[in-house]
């Protein structure tokens, strides 16, 4: 049996939560390996709806959850999320959740700087959630970050706060924001320490033991490939690498342990925040997709921009992330549309391109070139086999497979966990 890595193949919000939940029922452990509480997964289980940002989705299924070293952890947000899901009946204890001792912490000064810089950008805003994710990753690279393990060493915390405040208070003053006081930050961290440290361990060792004993590991990605800090629509991206290769470095396992890479894509396209979106629809069809798909960000609450399926962009995501199979979600949202369009590439200054270029100006200038298909009149909602789908819906899925150059291995036809068509079991490799 193979391990499985699940990643978004568009700009995020593809319905990864449902797919991970569906797969988690047959996994032994679910691992978050990058991002922070700027990514949200919504899981619908019976009459309960769980909104998770930091906690691995497998906890909903009673599976061991692991937060890897590639995640930046806001301890206050984590404890609030634990309290919220505990009130919903979930059990989150050091026996069910482990946190990498070398994961970086988000402190109150991180969102303060994040918001101040975004405000200073004015009309050139990136669209950050303002939760301090970017500044925390900056500290990690600059080697001044406070990590989970540091909570056990008050003297280490004190020295590191000196360095952090030298950096942050200088920047905050320049942006017109009041500086932070060291003692308040130190007291806050020392108060949090006994609540966080019981979850901490070298998770790389636990994952190695699980892998060697034949346990199934599900690696749960956040955001999506087109928000990757290297491969996405830079600078309108997140601050971490979101491609499948990060599952290895962000969890502390070898590349050979990652296994089957499953990409998630909606049957249309959405994006939250700023940045290029070639297939965006600002007409009644875009409004219809947003209404039917309930397109509001789990974390931000902002309405998502909607557009036609971009096969050129998904193909690009598949190539750079090594996606071996595609899970297509929200097919039912397209029910009843007379005509559907799929972007097959872009016209940029008159020349045709099958990929979105790296330069921001060229990205903004990209004009989608479409292939038009007939829609279907029947309903795909709740379908659990190919035979349940309208013939033209099957044709649409098959055409997507051809254009993205990867097989569709799962099709989701509603938010309900069991409304899924499985073509190939990812755990079979």
Do residues 237 and 291 make contact, with C-beta atoms less than 8 angstroms apart?
no
**Residue 329 forms beta bridges with which residues?**
266
Active site (annotated) includes residue 37: no
Examine residue 345 and say whether the peptide bond preceding it is cis (omega within 30 degrees of 0): no
Closest CA to 276 of 400, 404, 127, 121: 127
Q: Which two tokens stand for residue 403?
A: 């254009």
Q: Which two tokens stand for residue 342?
A: 């799929």
Catalytic position from the list 21, 37, 41, 310: 41
Active site (annotated) includes residue 162: no
Q: Strand 339-348 and strand 367-374: pairing?
A: antiparallel
**127 phi and psi, to 5 degrees?**
100, 20
Q: Which two tokens stand for residue 172?
A: 């905050």
Query: To 5 degrees, how large is the angle CA 129–CA 130–CA 131?
Result: 90
What secondary structure does DSSP assign to 12-68, as a single string?
S-SSHHHHHHHHHTT-SEEEE-SB-TT--EEEEETTEEEEESSS-GGGGGT-EEEE-
Residues marked active site are found at: 13, 41
């Amino acid at each position: 049996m193979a391990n499985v890595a699940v990643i978004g193949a568009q700009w995020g919000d593809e319905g990864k939560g449902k797919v991970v939940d569906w797969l988690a029922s047959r996994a032994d452990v679910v691992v978050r390996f990058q991002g922070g509480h700027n990514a949200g997964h919504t899981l619908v289980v019976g009459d309960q709806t769980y909104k998770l940002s930091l906690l691995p989705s497998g906890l909903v299924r009673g599976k061991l959850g692991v937060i890897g070293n590639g995640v930046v952890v806001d301890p206050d947000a984590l404890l609030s999320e634990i309290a919220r899901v505990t009130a919903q009946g979930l059990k989150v204890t050091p026996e069910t959740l482990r946190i990498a001792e070398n994961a970086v912490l988000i402190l109150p000064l991180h969102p303060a700087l994040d918001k101040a810089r975004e405000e200073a950008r004015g009309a050139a805003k990136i669209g950050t959630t303002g939760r301090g994710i970017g500044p925390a990753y900056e500290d990690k690279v600059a080697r001044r970050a406070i990590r989970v393990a540091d909570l056990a060493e008050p003297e280490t915390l004190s020295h590191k706060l000196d360095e952090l405040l030298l950096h942050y208070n200088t920047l905050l003053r320049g942006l017109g924001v009041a500086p932070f006081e060291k003692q308040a930050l130190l007291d806050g961290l020392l108060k949090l320490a006994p609540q966080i440290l019981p979850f901490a361990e070298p998770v790389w060792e636990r994952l190695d033991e699980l892998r060697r004993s034949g346990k199934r590991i599900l690696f749960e990605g956040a955001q999506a490939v087109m928000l990757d800090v290297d491969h996405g629509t830079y600078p309108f991206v997140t601050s971490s690498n979101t491609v499948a290769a990060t599952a290895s470095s962000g969890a502390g396992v070898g590349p050979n342990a990652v296994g089957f890479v499953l990409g998630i894509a909606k049957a249309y396209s959405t994006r939250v925040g700023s940045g290029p979106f070639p297939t965006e629809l600002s007409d009644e069809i875009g409004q219809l997709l947003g209404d039917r798909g309930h397109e509001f960000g789990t974390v931000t609450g902002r309405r998502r921009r909607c557009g036609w399926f971009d096969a050129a962009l998904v193909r690009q995501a598949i190539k750079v992330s090594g996606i071996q199979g595609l899970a297509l979600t929200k097919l039912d949202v397209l029910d009843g549309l007379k005509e559907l369009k799929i972007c097959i590439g872009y016209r940029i200054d008159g020349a045709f391109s099958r990929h979105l270029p790296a330069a921001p100006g060229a990205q903004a200038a990209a004009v989608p070139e479409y292939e038009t298909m007939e829609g279907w009149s029947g309903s795909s909602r709740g379908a659990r086999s190919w035979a349940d789908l309208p013939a033209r819906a099957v044709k649409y899925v098959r055409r997507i497979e051809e254009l993205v150059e990867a097989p569709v291995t799962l099709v989701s036809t509603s938010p309900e966990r069991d409304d899924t068509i499985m073509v190939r079991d990812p755990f079979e490799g």
